[in-house]
Amino acid sequence: MALLILAAVIGIPLVEIMVFIKVGSEIGALNTILITVVTAVIGAALLRIQGVGVLMRARAALERRETPVHEIFEGIFLAIAGLFLLIPGFVTDAIGFLLFLPPLRRALAGYVASRTRFVAVNRGAGGRGPRGGASSAGGGPIIDGDYEVIEPDAKSLDDRNRSSGGDGPHGPGNADSPWAKNK
């Protein structure tokens, strides 16, 4: 994998330089630079337009209480497409424009999503616990249960505070407490 990344880091700029030289010799240096700037501007506009659409679909999926897996990967591919269009070069521009085609981007997102495992976790009021599915994020079983919140009445709290010095069992009135006042 590292060798593949190294080949891409070295190979892509070399191919871009070769294409720049060929195109520049055919249409001129100024036109080559102008085309590069225009593709960057078009890429930024496409990223903004299509990015909003993907965000709206992701929001709709969240409102339906679904995990927006495909939309997440579409957003990643849109970001890559925008980056490729901002990088000066004709080869990266071609790849970037291809990634802006919704059918291709959705097919790639679907392929990557099918190869990826997601576990939805609800970090709501309690801040803990998985939501749905057959196993938790840690791989253990999910135990379904009911609970009841029992709150003590105000009179028993007042009795406890008076017997411990007036400030609760661990407060400043308790002699064993680190908050105890030195007299």
User: pLDDT (tens digit, 0 to 9) for every residue of the chain, 183 residues total?
Assistant: 788 888 888 998 899 999 999 999 999 999 999 999 998 899 888 888 888 888 899 999 899 988 888 888 998 999 999 889 888 889 999 999 999 998 999 899 888 888 877 655 555 544 444 444 444 455 567 777 777 777 777 666 666 666 555 554 544 555 555 555 554
Task: Provide the 10 A C-beta neighbour count for residue 86.
Answer: 16
Residue partners of 46: CB distance under 8 A and separation at least 6: 81, 82, 85, 100
Give, as one character, the DSSP assignment of residue 182: P
pLDDT of residue 128: 47
**Gap between the terminal Cα atoms of the chain:** 69
Q: Using CB atoms within 10 Å of the CB of residue 148, give its burial: 0 to 12 exposed, 13 to 18 middle, 19+ buried.
A: exposed
Angle at 18 between CA 14 and CA 24, to 5 degrees: 140
pLDDT of residue 161: 60
Q: What is the pLDDT of residue 70?
A: 86
Rounded CA-CA distance 73/100 in Å is 13
Predicted pLDDT of residue 50: 87
Are 153 and 145 a contacting pair, CB within 8 Å? Answer: no
* 130, β-bridge pairs: 121
The pLDDT value recorded for residue 153 is 72
